[in-house]
Structure 1
Amino acid sequence: MKLTLVATLAVLFIALPVAAQPFARPMGPGSMPTFADFDGDGDGRITEQEFVDARSQRITERATEGRAMRGLSEAGDFKDIDTNGDGNLSREELDAYLSRHGQNRRAQSAL
């Protein structure tokens, strides 16, 4: 009985930290980030610093996993994506950029 209780507690101590982690979105080849991936503080807009931080984190994660960095050389600059020039990216601005960027990547893959 004591051994079973100890074993159960050990499993819980191991499993709880894993279960508490947010579910990761599968990042397969060709997957594109979402607005939430960039909006670090969740305020509905992306500052240039949030954009740079999220992009750097994504590049680092992909490099660590040994993944290809396709499309990185064609990646847009924050100021190019901020089409209204207000210093923040809206969901619409980021979605439009990601759509264009994805189309460019698919076109290059077809060559």
Structure 2
Amino acid sequence: MFAETLPSFGPVAFSAYDTNKDGQISPAEFNAVKEKRMTQKAEQGRLMMNAKNSPSFSDVDTNGDGIISQNELQIHQQARFQNRVNQKNNMMNGQGMGKGMGQGMAPGKGRNW
């Protein structure tokens, strides 16, 4: 079904999903690309820690009509990118995972003297 290699990082082009070139993405097309990308990553020996967090068809099909339009895909990909940028910025600004173990006293856990 796929002659080309999908990108390892970042968004997949609409044209890669729309294999029958009808201007929309069906659940079968979406799931085929998702599976192909996972297979490529596994073949490259890349970790897939966030695989369970990958979007489902219904996450992208925001109007629930059973197909994904180019606009729906673009909006979804932009939102995912923005979420990643925000997470990275929060981590860089010290708002990441909290103080961490041994990095300060928890509330109500002061010394006993």
Q: Normalising to structure 2: TM-score of the pair?
A: 0.64
Tell me which of 67, 75, 96 is aligned to 2:46. 67
* In structure 2, distance between residues paired with 1:102 and 1:74: 14
The question of 1:52 aligning with 2:44 is answered no
Higher helix share: 1
1:103 positional shift: 2.1
Q: Is the 8 A contact 1:71 1:105 kept in 2?
A: no
SS at match of 1:103: helix
Shift, 1:56, TM fit: 0.4
Cα-Cα RMSD: 2.3
Distance (whole Å) between structure 2 residues aligned to residue 77 and residue 62 of structure 1? 18
Amino acid at match of 1:38: Y
- Provide the identity percentage: 32
Deviation at 1:72, TM superposition (A): 3.1
Deviation at 1:80, TM superposition (A): 2.0
Q: Note the alpha carbon deviations across 1:66-95, whole angstroms, 9 max, x for none.
A: 224365333222112111111000000011
| Partner AA of 1:92 in structure 2 | N
Q: Residues 50, 90 of structure 1: CA spacing in aligned structure 2 closer, same or farther, 3 A cutoff? A: same
Matched, 1:31 2:27: no
Q: Does 1:90 align with 2:69?
A: yes
Gaps of 5+ in 1: 1-21
The verdict on how the C-alpha distance between 1:71 and 1:86 changes in structure 2, with shifts beyond 3 A counting, is: same
Residues 75, 101 of structure 1: 8 Å contact kept = no
The DSSP-based 3-state class of the residue aligned with 2:45 is coil
Deviations 1:6-56 (A, max 9, x none): xxxxxxxxxxxxxxxx7757x35x422111121111111000011001110
Tell me the TM-score normalised to structure 1 length.
0.65
